[in-house]
Amino acid sequence: MDTDITAPELSVSQGAAATAPAQGALRALAGAAAPPAAQGDDAWHVAGITLRSRLLLGTSRYPSPQVLDDAVAASGAQVLTVGLRRLQPESGGGQAFWQRIAALGCHLLPNTAGCHTAEQAVNLALMARELFGTSWIKLEVVGDDYTLQPDPFGTLEASARLVREGFAVFAYTTDDLVLARRLHDAGVAAVMPWAAPIGSGRGPQNLHALRTLRERLPDAVLVVDAGLGKPSHAAQVMELGFDAVLLNTAVAESADPVRMAAAFAQAVQAGRLGHLAGAMPERDTARASTPTVGMPFWHDAAAVQGREPAA
């Protein structure tokens, strides 16, 4: 998630030199030949758009604009989230940053980060549509400043209003099933439950709740948003059958954002392929992977004792 947009104040000299030697290799790594299911025939659809990448990336907190550019390239992301509230774009703030983001050629997903009421979120969404010419909006209505937990009532109210206004709403919410169902029924383009509090990097805190969301909302587009910190976390939720993941801090605040972006891209692919393949059932007891049917008992006993059986 993009709760803080600080990119206009970034210096290109910060951090760029450290990642430059590996950038070409990482771009090649992210774009290397992947299994067919991770490329063309497993595309997904949201808000009338077909996408190949199942990794959505935020654009804040990177050490430099160049590192952001290279991380986006390494990730293969086709959708970038951008925040408006802090930059005051209506007064021309952050123009260079917006131009740089536009040059990356990705679908823009403006967000309403920092809004505390449905009214604030709706107004900011209307501004975003005017500024960027897109009806996509990542809806965030904060209910608690300490945990940054979404306000369920404000989120549902704003979602219904924005859908009526013709927006494709990507609604950030908790892992509450009833709220997710209400948002889906209201017509949002995607329901985006958190895995853990934003920026915590703790990974999925309630896999049962996330699994239940997927099972109970089979027709909804579900994107895990917030709380992922490691590539393994992304693989975990993708194995559950989620359509995609959205993250920001896990890449931007890593020691090497470019390399981490490539790692997340591969983890998302691995989790998706694991879901499609179907994992073996979990068991309470062990089961030998090597068949022993037909082997005489005395042979097994002799092998354990390290001697040949008697004639």
Binding residue positions for 1-deoxy-D-xylulose 5-phosphate = 199, 226-227, 248-249
CB 113 within 8 A of CB 2: yes
Please state the φ and ψ torsions of residue 251, each to the nearest 5 degrees. -90, -50
Catalytic site residue from 85, 138, 182, 272 = 138
* Known active-site residue 230: no
Q: Annotated binding site, which residues?
A: 199, 226-227, 248-249
Report the first-to-last Cα separation within the chain, whole angstroms: 72
Q: How far apart are CA 291 and CA 295, in angstroms?
A: 9
Q: Where are the beta strands (DSSP E) in 25-183?
A: 44-46, 49-51, 55-58, 79-83, 107-111, 136-139, 168-173
Q: How far apart are CA 249 and CA 282, in angstroms?
A: 33
Buried b (16+ CB within 10 A) or exposed e, 193-215: bbbbbbbbbebbeeeebbbebbe
Catalytic residue positions, numbered: 138
